[in-house]
Amino acid sequence: MSSKHRTLKDITHAICSCLCEMGDIALVLQIVQKIILSEMSLNPPMDNMCAMLRALASLDSRPTLLSEESIISLSNSVLGYMVDSAYYIPENIHESTACDQMRMSKYYLVPCFILFDKSDQLQSLVLNLMGSLIAENRRTFPSRHGDEYSLNLSKRMIAIASILLFMHKDEKMQRSLSCCKAEIRHVLRDIVKASENSDLNLEEKHRIRIRFVELTTIMGRMHGWNADELKIT
């Protein structure tokens, strides 16, 4: 993580601490959540979005204090943000040389994980939206990395597979994801279908297959699934 990101994280922490000390946290969250969600819908830069997610995570509790309307709005913003965050996940997430990239990925994704831990509904909605983003081939989202990233189906598929793999490597998320096995299976099946039905070239299919095999192997071990039931041919 760069010094800029460390400074921003410290500033965000200070602001969140101030908000938490203002009195009734539930009331403070009720006041600021609409403003924050409105700003999130404008697709702000990654660091701004990360700071706002950290603020929500600091103020929220388990079970979540967010309204259902807020959770639905948040799920759409979180989906695009997480897919953009996957841009920083290294191709081989086991290599020690990828430490800087891993730290950056964790910096961006952890606020989402905290919010998922506080709201099962938010986690379920985002997982369902991941599947839709793959299944609806023509669907686009406003990416912070440009049209090439948002319009490229193979990049979206690799991004979502990478996010799921990253989530399953987090010990706390493993427990949380155990409640969303059906949603995860749907995402995996959508990846398989898209790989078979789309006009992906051989290189794209190869990269997707590598990430997919890695993902289904770790998920099969954790959830007791047969990895051969879900595979890309």
Question: Residue 212 carries which side chain, given as an amino acid letter?
Answer: F
Is residue 60 within 8 A of residue 66, CB to CB? The reply is yes
Give me the number of domains the chain comprises.
1
Q: Is pLDDT of 94 > 50? A: yes
Within-domain flag for 76: yes
Position 55 in a domain? no
Handedness of CA 137, 49, 125, 1 (dihedral sign): positive
State pLDDT tens for residues 65-93.
999 999 999 999 999 999 999 988 887 77
Is residue 147 domain-resident?
Answer: yes
Report the C-alpha gap between 16 and 34 in whole angstroms.
16
Higher pLDDT, 114 or 137: 114
Dihedral of the alpha carbons of 163, 165, 166, 168, in degrees to the nearest 10: 120
Q: What is the pLDDT of residue 97?
A: 47
- Per the domain annotation, does 144 fall within a domain? yes
**Dist. CA 61–CA 45, nearest whole Å:** 26
- Lowest pLDDT segment from 28-32, 37-41, 141-145: 141-145
If you compute the radius of gyration of the chain from its CA atoms, what whole number of angstroms results? 18
Query: How would you class 210 by CB atoms within 10 Å of its CB: exposed for 0-12, middle for 13-18, buried for 19 or more?
Result: middle
Question: CB of 86 within 8 A of CB of 160?
Answer: yes
Mean pLDDT of 12-24: 85
CA–CA gap between residue 155 and residue 199 (Å, rounded): 13
Of 7-21, 44-58, 143-157, 189-203, which one has max mean pLDDT? Answer: 44-58
Ramachandran quadrant class, 45 (left: phi over 0; alpha: psi -120 to 50; beta: rest): beta
- Whether residue 50 is predicted with pLDDT greater than 60 in this model: the reply is yes
> How far is residue 101's CA from residue 108's CA, in Å, rounded to a whole number?
11
* 143 within domain boundaries: yes
Question: How many other C-beta atoms are found inside a 10 Å radius of the C-beta of residue 203?
Answer: 9
Q: What pLDDT is recorded for position 77?
A: 95
Which residue in this structure is represented by tokens 């946290």? 25
Rounded Cα distance between 66 and 72, Å, is 10
- The reported pLDDT for the residue numbered 139 is 58
Domain-embedded: residue 15:
no
Q: Is residue 7 part of a domain?
A: no
Which residues constitute the domain of residue 157?
A: 65-229
Residue 186 maps to a domain:
yes
